[in-house]
Structure 1
Amino acid sequence: MTTIGFHASHEQLAPAQLLADVQLAEQAGFDAAMCSDHFEPWSAVQGHSGFAWSWLGAALATTSLRFGVVTAPGQRYHPAIIAQASGTLASMFPGRFWAALGSGENLNEHITGDPWPEKEQRQQRIEECVDIIRRMHDGEEVTHRGLVTVEQARLWDAPEIKPHLIAPAVSVETAARSARWADGLVTVNQPHEKLTDMIRAYRENGGQGKAILQVHLSWAPTEDEAMEIARAQWSANCLTPPEIWDFKRPSDFEEATRNLPEDELQSTVQISADLAVHAQRLREFADLGFDELYLHFVGTEQKPFIEAFAEHVLPEVR
């Protein structure tokens, strides 16, 4: 059976509200949850950006859900700190936590004042970080000098059950490359052909574990309302790499998407007032080979979405 989870968007909701929403999602029947990890939102209208790691402790302690986080060690976070943070959650909540380790976006990483590396260097850096984190999770004392520097770092509370380290990817090339280190693959909704190619590339290069999809969607009682929610909250997220990696401030995203055509918005967000349409689209994603679907309603009022989808969509997809 396909796992259907709730995506908690820290860029769009205050941490306390987001905690209440994920608790409601569990009560309504969602199977799991995942969250973003941002220092800044994508746009000023989103207006939030709580610290994901503090929030995850509260969320894991007040629900029984499995949780994942998409994060980026290497610049804003030292990999030893991510090893400690993820290891602590995995020790406290065995088998209930995973981390997707990506190469990051300048939007979040520019705060260190360090230069923003080219994509290839960022990819090499994340691979170094993954190796460091795995070794520390194994209880090893790590000294490493490369694109990141680690000096005699060890975890005094190494987790008995290691958290899965998942590869986040938006391209076929990254999916293939990540197969050599990842415990699974996570991506976002894209054209079916590309998603199929990504899964194939990951599996054919030895990729193990689950295939996970985060689905951006907008639903409301009318088509116009659903479109307006998507336009107001998620227009700034409709850019493609490398812009999405390299832009520095929310205002950069806002300016680049100021006159975003409707078809581009619809290519990024699944928009419909028809719950049956949403169910069908989600079934199609599951049929592509995704084991877990995490639903990200891009609006800010999560309760109507949670209740409607729990009653009408989740049973149909399952």
Structure 2
Amino acid sequence: MARIGYHASHEQFTPANLLRWTKRAAESGFDCAMSSDHFHPWSERQGQSGFAWSWLGAAMEATCLPFGIISAPGYRYHPAIIAQGAATLAQMYPGRLWLALGSGEAINEAITGLIWPDKLERNARLFECAQIIKALFAGETVTHRGRITIVEAKLYTRPEQPPMLVGAAVSERTAEWLGSWADALITVQASPEQLKKVIAAFRHGGGGQKPIILQVALSWAPSEEEAEAEALHQWAASALGGEVNWDVRRPQDFDRVARLVKTDDIRHSVLVSADLGQHRAWLAEYAEMGFDEIHLHQVGRRQLSFIEAFGEHILPSLKANG
């Protein structure tokens, strides 16, 4: 049975509100949680950008939920710092943290002034960082000079069991590559046919029976009109496609290009419906595909009513049918 998680979106909401809502999600039957990790929001309309690693300590202390976080090492974070942060949380809260690594987006990572590379180079940099983090988790003293430089670094505070190192992918090619070194896969919702291809590529690349995790962007509201309007207002950037999400640097520029996004476009990237039964059907189909965790990102601003409605009407039936 898939565990159903609540996604804490730091680029949209204040850390104080996210902590309050995550506690309510735990009370409402959500099994786990996941945190974004942004320096800038996608849009000036979102307008938040709390430091996720500070927040995670508070959230893990305030609840008993397991948590995941996705970060991009090699730019604003040196991999040694990510390893130290994750190891500290995993020592304090054993078995409750997984760490996903992605190749990053310019809107968050280009702030350091480094040249923003193409996808192949970003993946190569990601792989170096992942190997450094793994070695540090294993207690090794690490020296490496390549795309990333690290000299005689060793973690002295480590958990008995290191956090699961998850690879993030949206394409089959990246998923297959991740299968060779990641402990698990995280991807985002797409058509069932496309998701099956991504999962198969991960398995074929060496993923075997490793865990798979899905992040689902959805927009629910009491009316169809509000659900649609909230998706366009808060999450239009997700529908832009191509390399835009990886290469655009400023929230203002995302707002400009997002004006091109129409209703049909947003419905291809966000599950938009006022019908709880429709959301239940969508999630049940994903659960049947074998995902170990499905994290629900309510992109609209109705967070508390979303948590309570899904906790009452959707989670019990998903668990009963799992």
TM above 0.5, one fold?
yes
2:269 alignment counterpart: 268
Question: Quick check: 2:213–2:291 contact (8 Å CA) kept in 1?
Answer: yes
1:246-302 Cα shifts (integer Å, max 9, x gaps)? 111112211112031211100111011110000000001111221211001011231
Cross-structure match for 1:288 = 289
- 2:167/2:185 contact within 8 Å kept: yes
Please give the secondary structure, in 1, of the residue aligned with 2:206.
coil
1:177 to partner: Cα distance:
0.4
| Distance in structure 1 (CA, Å) of the matches to 2:260 and 2:117 | 30
The answer as to 2:205 corresponding to 1:205 is yes
Provide the C-alpha distance between the structure 1 equivalents of 2:272 and 2:36, rounded to a whole number of angstroms: 21
One-letter code of the match for 2:125? Answer: R
1:201 is paired with a residue of what secondary structure? helix
Matched pairs, number: 318
Q: In 2, Cα distance between the equivalents of 1:237 and 1:46? A: 14
Q: Kindly provide the amino acid, as one letter, of the partner of residue 200 in structure 2.
A: R
Deviation (angstroms), 1:241: 3.6
Unaligned 5+ segments in structure 1 are none
Give the TM-score of the pair, scaled to structure 1: 0.98
Equivalent in the alignment of 2:158: 158
Alignment of 1:116-127 (within 5 A): 116-127=116-127
Which whole-Å CA distance do the structure 2 matches of 1:308 and 1:301 have between them?
Answer: 11
2:48 matched residue in structure 1: 48
Distance 2:226 2:109 in 1: 34
| 1:176 to 2:176 alignment | yes
Measure the CA separation in 2 of the matches of 1:47 and 1:90.
30
Corresponding letter in the other structure for 1:17? N
- SS of the residue 1:205 aligns to: helix
Helix, strand or coil at the partner of 2:306: helix
On the 8 A contact 1:280/1:317 being kept in 2, the answer is no
- Distance in 1 (CA, whole Å) between partners of 2:153 and 2:67 is 26
Residue pairs, 1:99-248, within 5 angstroms: 99-207=99-207, 208-248=209-249
Tell me if structure 2 keeps the 8 A contact 1:221–1:273.
yes
CA distance, structure 2, for counterparts of residue 268 and residue 36 of structure 1: 18
Q: Is the 8 A contact 2:221 2:302 kept in 1?
A: no
| Distance in 2 between residues matched to 1:173 and 1:252, nearest whole Å | 29
Once the two structures are TM-superposed, the CA of residue 240 in structure 1 deviates from its matched residue by 2.1
Distance in 2 (alpha carbons) for counterparts of 1:249 and 1:65: 33
1:296-315 equivalence runs, <5 A: 296-315=297-316
* Large movers: runs of 4+ above 4 Å: none
Query: Residues of 2 paired with 1:121 and 1:252: CA distance?
Result: 24
Question: Does the 8 Å contact 1:100/1:165 carry over to 2?
Answer: yes
Q: Which amino acid aligns with 2:31?
A: D
User: SS state of the match for residue 206, structure 1?
Assistant: helix
Amino acid of the structure 2 residue aligned with 1:250: P
Are residue 251 (structure 1) and residue 237 (structure 2) matched?
no
Q: Which amino acid aligns with 1:204?
A: H
Across the aligned residues of Structure 1 and Structure 2, the Cα RMSD in angstroms comes to: 0.9
> What is the one-letter code of the residue matched to 1:209?
K
Cα distance in 2 for partners of 1:145, 1:240 equals 35
Query: Once the two structures are aligned, what percentage of the paired residues are identical?
Result: 53
* Partner secondary structure for residue 217 of structure 2: strand
What is the Cα deviation at residue 209 of structure 1? 2.0
Q: Does the 8 A contact of 1:143 with 1:151 survive in 2? A: yes
